[in-house]
């Protein structure tokens, strides 16, 4: 790290669901001078209650698989922000009463995303950028009480700013 400034006292937990990018997520959080800790996907809500936020990583599983990694659904009641990425957002929808469907066609490869509207989540990013897709399930309805971004013809996947934000790229 190039700066001599100490890490803030904020702590972010990253639950690992098998994504090849979990370490990259942790590094990016640390580059923001915030301590991050990678924990197993089954970490209890009690274990996570001292963190200021939780990131649910992506992963190759389907929420419908009996062997898929699970989480403690009580984390959604802790009152701290939870960011779901890919598989993480599918888990959020699944546990919070949304609708997730198995896609008959897996998406894998490069795509692009275009940010529509204002969002603190995307404030330092360009309005359009490249992403990597790797998933088979899709969120077809958000859980009750949550709202999402509107579809955009040049945006592959969906980026949503929610009280519990989720990204499916």
pLDDT tens for the chain, 169 residues long, are: 444 455 557 899 999 998 888 999 999 999 989 999 999 999 999 999 999 999 999 888 888 889 999 999 999 999 888 988 888 888 988 888 888 888 776 666 677 777 777 767 777 878 888 776 666 787 888 787 766 654 333 333 444 443 455 555 4
CA 80 to the chain's CA centroid: 14
Question: Which DSSP state fits 120?
Answer: G
SS3 9: coil
CA 40 to the chain's CA centroid: 15
Is 6 a domain residue?
A: no
d(CA 110, CA 54): 26
CB atoms within 10 A of CB 105: 7
Residue 158: predicted pLDDT? 40
Is 2 a domain residue?
A: no
Helix and strand numbers (H, E) in the chain are: 3, 8
CATH of the domain at 136: 3.40.50.880
Is 42 a domain residue?
A: yes
d(CA 96, CA 93): 5
d(CA 30, CA 132): 22
Is 4 a domain residue?
A: no
Q: Are strands 128-141 and 53-56 parallel, antiparallel or unpaired?
A: unpaired
Domain enclosing residue 144, as ranges: 11-168
Q: Across all residues in the chain, what is the average pLDDT? A: 78
């Amino acid at each position: 790290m190039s700066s001599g400034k100490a890490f803030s006292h904020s702590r972010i937990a990253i639950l690992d669901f098998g994504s090849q990018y979990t370490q990259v997520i942790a590094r990016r959080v640390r580059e923001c001078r915030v301590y991050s800790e990678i924990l197993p996907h089954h970490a209890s809500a009690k274990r996570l209650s001292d963190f200021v936020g939780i990131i649910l990583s992506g992963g190759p599983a389907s929420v419908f698989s009996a062997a898929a990694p699970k989480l403690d659904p009580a984390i959604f009641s802790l009152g701290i922000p939870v960011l779901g990425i890919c598989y993480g957002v599918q888990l959020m929808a699944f546990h919070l009463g949304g609708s997730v469907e198995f896609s008959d066609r897996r998406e894998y490869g490069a795509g692009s995303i275009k940010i529509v509207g204002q969002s603190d989540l995307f404030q330092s990013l360009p309005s359009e950028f490249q992403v990597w897709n790797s998933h088979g399930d899709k969120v077809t309805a958000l859980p009750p009480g949550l709202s999402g971004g509107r579809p955009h013809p040049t945006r592959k996947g969906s980026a949503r700013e929610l009280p519990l934000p989720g990204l499916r790229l």
